[in-house]
Amino acid sequence: MEELLEKIKNLLIQFAELRDTPVALLDLKEVNEKMPHTVYRMVQGRSFERLDVILQTPGGDIDAAFQIAKLLRKCTKELNFFIPYYAKSAGTLISLVADNIYMNDLSELGPLDTQIHEQQEGSLPGYISALNGFKALEQVQLHTLETLDIATKLILSRTGIKISESIQLATQFAGITSGTLYAQLNPQRIGEYARALEIGEYYAIMLLTRYMGWNEEEAEITIKTMVKQYPSHGFVIDLEELQKLKLPAKPMDNTLAEIMFELNELLPELEDSLIEMIDIEDEEEPQEEVEIVEEPKLIVIEEKLKPKNTKQNGK
């Protein structure tokens, strides 16, 4: 474990020296309600001209993600995110406060449909997309309209009765055939899904309009697309797709991409979440201060070093 942490720390030091910028690593196995407090302790009393954040997470609690995004945005004038591999769901929400989102060929963000923790019949508890209920309703509605259209045309072609009578008969038939499907939908659950989707949508729009200078109309267009338009929660939103959404995605240079690749090989070996900051201070003599704070499923390491002479401002 110590050897693994040392390798990760060395890569972060290399990254910080190349960028001549403090760097924070947020490897969040699952975003939870404790993490905003840890991030708060990390940035409390600090004010940066520029801060780089390496973010890797499959997602988690949307409320906690909103708080983390606010904390990171408020502590620095320029905020850059680097995505080694993935920042999905709640991780995507956090990344909305970035001035720049740097990605390599494998980096991905994801849709913003809120995940709900519940137990499906015959399975263990887990997260499901709040959009699932609406997709089911959408399919039933589509089935009803298609049935109505086909039945109307069939009745007209085979009976020769008036079109108004054909539509009336087709409507009755479509209602009977679709009624069984509608009966399987739970209106209360669909209402809960709707509220959950609204939470994620509101948070995302708030972050863009409050901190990133977007107007309400532009923010709504982008966020509604990210919440409702993609076919699955695991859908890959890559650099080019983010640029279409008018988000500030940019390619990494090769040197930084190689560091991200090496990090991505090491981070999956950690069982717990890792939050670590490397803070370069020009005015201090070389020194090493390492603080390890352990919480359930969370490790925090902070280090301050004087930068080397060789520096490179990567993308």
pLDDT at position 119 is 56
At residue 314, the pLDDT reads 44
| 279-308 mean pLDDT | 50
**What percent of the chain clears pLDDT 70, i.e. is strictly above it?**
75
For residue range 29-54, what is the model confidence (pLDDT) as tens digits? 999 999 999 999 999 999 999 999 99
Q: How many CB atoms lie within 10 A of CB 253?
A: 15
Please give the residue that has the higher pLDDT: either 186 or 203: 203
Residue of 81, 140, 91 whose CA lies nearest to 115: 91
Mean pLDDT of the chain: 83
Structure tokens at 304: 């301050």
Q: Are strands 273-280 and 291-295 parallel, antiparallel or unpaired?
A: unpaired
Write the pLDDT tens digit of every residue in 54-66.
999 999 999 999 9
- Contact present, 76 and 48 (Cβ < 8 Å): yes
Q: Are 107 and 92 in contact (CB under 8 A)?
A: no
- At 86 the pLDDT is 97
- Rounded Cα distance between 39 and 71, Å, is 7
Higher pLDDT, 181 or 15: 15
Q: Which of 125-134, 191-200, 205-214, 279-288 has the highest mean pLDDT?
A: 205-214
Q: What pLDDT sits at residue 143?
A: 64
Q: Is the dihedral of CA 108, 112, 118, 122 positive or negative?
A: negative
**What are 17-30's pLDDT values in tens digits?**
999 999 999 999 99
pLDDT at 291: 43
CA 153 to CA 145: how far, in whole Å? 12
pLDDT at 252: 96
Is pLDDT of 120 > 50?
yes
CATH class entry, domain 2-110+236-305: alpha beta
Contact 100, 250 (CB under 8 A): yes
**Within the chain, where are the H helices?**
2-19, 35-43, 62-74, 90-95, 132-159, 163-183, 187-211, 216-228, 239-244, 254-266
What pLDDT, on a 0 to 100 scale, did the predictor assign at position 309?
A: 44
Q: Name the 3-class secondary structure at 283.
A: coil
| 283-297 mean pLDDT | 44
pLDDT of res. 300? 62
* String of DSSP letters for 91-129: HHHHHTT-SEEEE-TT-EE---PPEEEEE-TTS-EEEEE
Q: What is the pTM of this model?
A: 0.76
Residue 298 pairs in a beta bridge with 273, 295
At 57 the pLDDT is 97
Q: Which two tokens stand for residue 205?
A: 């729009």
Q: Regarding predicted confidence, which is higher, 114 or 117?
A: 114
| pLDDT tens, residue by residue, 130-189 | 666 555 556 656 667 777 788 788 887 888 788 888 888 878 877 787 777 666 666 656
Q: Where are the domains of the chain?
A: 2-110+236-305, 123-189
- Given a contact cutoff of 8 angstroms between Cβ atoms, the answer to whether 298 and 38 are in contact is yes
